[in-house]
Every structure is written in C-alpha cells, then in structure tokens.
Amino acid sequence: MAKVSVGMPVYNGSRFLKDAIASVLNQTLQDFELIIVDDCSSDGIEDIVRSFADPRIKFFRNKTHLGLAANWNRCIELSKGGVIALFHQDDLMLPRNLEKKALVLEKRPDVGLVYSNIFQIDAQEGVFNHNRSWDEEAAHEDFIEKGTEFFKRLILRPCIICCPSVLARRECYERLGGFDLRLLFPADLEMWLRISRHYDVAFLAEPLIKYRWHEGNETKRYANQIERLKQIHLAKMIAVKRVENRRERKAFRLFVHGDIAEQALDWACYRRMKFRETRRLLWLAYRLKPSLFFQKNEFFILAKLIGERAVFYFMRIKTEAARDVKIILKGKFAWLPKRK
C-alpha cells in the first residue's frame, strides 16, 4: 500500500486545530505523514502543533501569506506519499478514514480519487446531518464511476464532493498540475472536474469525515453571492474549456451559463438584499442567458430594479420589458425612481 500524506493547510485556525490533528493521529492506518503548513497565522498555531510529540508531524510556515489554493499546492509540494489527503484545520477524521480509502486506491489503479459520505457537525461537535452525502442520489451505496460520466454529473450540479473527504493519487496532481490560483473557494471543484476527465472516481457511502460548519468556515468568508456565483462559473468554465469534443464543450458551456444565470436571477428576485447587489445579479443573469428575461415575470424583475411606479410607466407605453431591463441595467434611465 502506498504511503499516505495528509496535508493540512492552516490559517488562524487555532480554535479547532488540536482536535483536527488528534483525529488524524488516531487513524487505524498508521503509515502516514502529516504535513502542516501555516500560512502566516497570528494565533499561536505553531505552539499547538509543537505540543504533539509525534515524528509523523512535519510543520512548515510560509514566509508570506499565499492564500487558500496556493497553500494547498504547497502542501502537495512538501508531501512525499503516493496518495494525498488535503484536510481542513477544523474538521475531524473518523478512525478508519485513511485505511478504507487507501485500500480502494490500492485495489483499483484506474481510480484517481476516492471520497466519502460525511457527518455535518456544528462548532460544539453536534451532528446536525446524519449519514448525509452532498450527493443525495448516491448517499446509500458505494460506487466506482467512469470519470467522464462523473464529470458530467459534477459539471451539471453543485459540487457534490466534500473536499476534506478526498484521498487522491499524487500522480493526478503531478500529471494535471496544482490547484488553479485564479479561484478562491471553488478551486477544489475545478480540480475534481479536471481529475475526472482522466481517472475514474470512487465513493464510500459510510461517513468517514466530520465536516464542521461554523461561522469561521473559509467558504463563509465569501458571503457576497454575486462573487460566489462568478467564482463557481469560472471554475466550471475552466473545466469546460478542456473538453476535447467540440459539441460536448458547447453543450456544457450553454448549460453552465444557464445554470448560473438562473441562480443569479432567483437570488435577485426572491432574496432581500441591497439595490446595488440586486442590479449586479440581474446584469450577471442577463449577460449569461438573456432569454431568461422572456421566461420569467419581466415586470416583477423591473419592480425589483426600479420600483412599481416605473413598471406602470413601461406597461402604459407598451415597451418590451426584457429590452427595458437591459437599458436600465446600463444606467440609461437615470431619471427613474431609484430604490435604496
């Protein structure tokens, strides 16, 4: 069995770090190294790491702050194992996590990565989702899926892989390159899409990770919905551009544009937010899929943008609502009443 490397990128994560390290050290598979890379934290990370007298732990501190994706790449560069897990500073491994996943990769050389079901826990370690995969359809049984088929499922849906549950071959990263630095939180999504174009993917239905959901999550730092949607769109479009078949590439591109546009339009119309954010979301939706503005309630969209008085004006002069949305988004009707 190939030696396992566990890379743990950390940044100001002292609150849960001790428990995360302990959960890795308590694995039934003992032949591994734990690479901890501190991205210039200011909350005593090194003292916590040094409190563990275990030769399998190797601690590094970056000279400058690299950011999430670059620090993941740094963990991979410093590791020596044949298979690699990138584990979060605030999550927990169940004891047989590494053993079971490494066994899958040993038996199936065609599989590039294996991921598992998870428990979702809160800051106090209370489980609020039992035996729940992010992929509801596949939550109840193990499977190994052809990579190209898995790519289709992943590109057409939200990310169904929980990052700390992944164990991947070093060969994948060496052959396909590291995480894309243009991406913030969805860098892992683009990587799993990239790997699935070349390798099969395995899933274990048993929850082997406790994924902690709390206010300090890295994902929650990107609270601005339009920036989140733009990042997910970029991640998927990077993957789509690598599809060799021209017809497939076009179909994927149209779907991704439409999916992100619908999410942006739904957020703009049905969520309470500031006028400026609503306007940006609507413009993103229009830019990606203009036809949506003919399928939805155009006057409701206008009301969200400029208020009911302006909607009655457009109804009276019988202008085409979708065209007017485009004009308003470009700021050509500055005299109309504005929402605060």
**DSSP output for 44-97:** -HHHHHHT---TTEEEEE-SS---HHHHHHHHHHH---SEEEE--TT-EE-TTH
pLDDT at 287 over 60: yes
- Of 314 and 178, the structure prediction assigns the larger pLDDT to 178
**Is 168 found in the same domain as 301?**
no
* CA pair distance 124, 290, nearest whole angstrom: 45
pLDDT of residue 192: 98
Domain encompassing residue 286: 225-329
User: Tens digit of pLDDT for each residue in 139-176?
Assistant: 678 999 999 999 999 998 888 899 999 999 999 999 99
- Half-sphere CA count of 332, side-chain side, radius 13 A: 7
> pLDDT band at 123, cuts 50/70/90?
confident
What residues have CB less than 8 Å from 307, skipping those under 6 apart?
336, 337, 338, 339
Task: Calculate mean pLDDT across residues 91-112.
Answer: 97
Q: Which residue has the tokens 């057409």?
A: 156
Tell me how far apart the alpha carbons of residues 38 and 57 are, in angstroms, rounded to a whole number: 13
SS3 at position 42 = coil
Check which CATH number belongs to the domain holding 212 and give it: 3.90.550.10
Higher local confidence (pLDDT), 29 or 223: 29
> For residues 164 and 229, is the Cβ–Cβ distance under 8 A?
no
Among 167, 194, 221, where does a domain finish? 221
Instruction: Give me the number of domains the chain comprises.
Output: 2
Please tell me the predicted confidence (pLDDT) of residue 143. Answer: 94
Residue 282 lies in a domain: yes
- State whether the Cα torsion 42-189-187-111 is positive or negative: positive
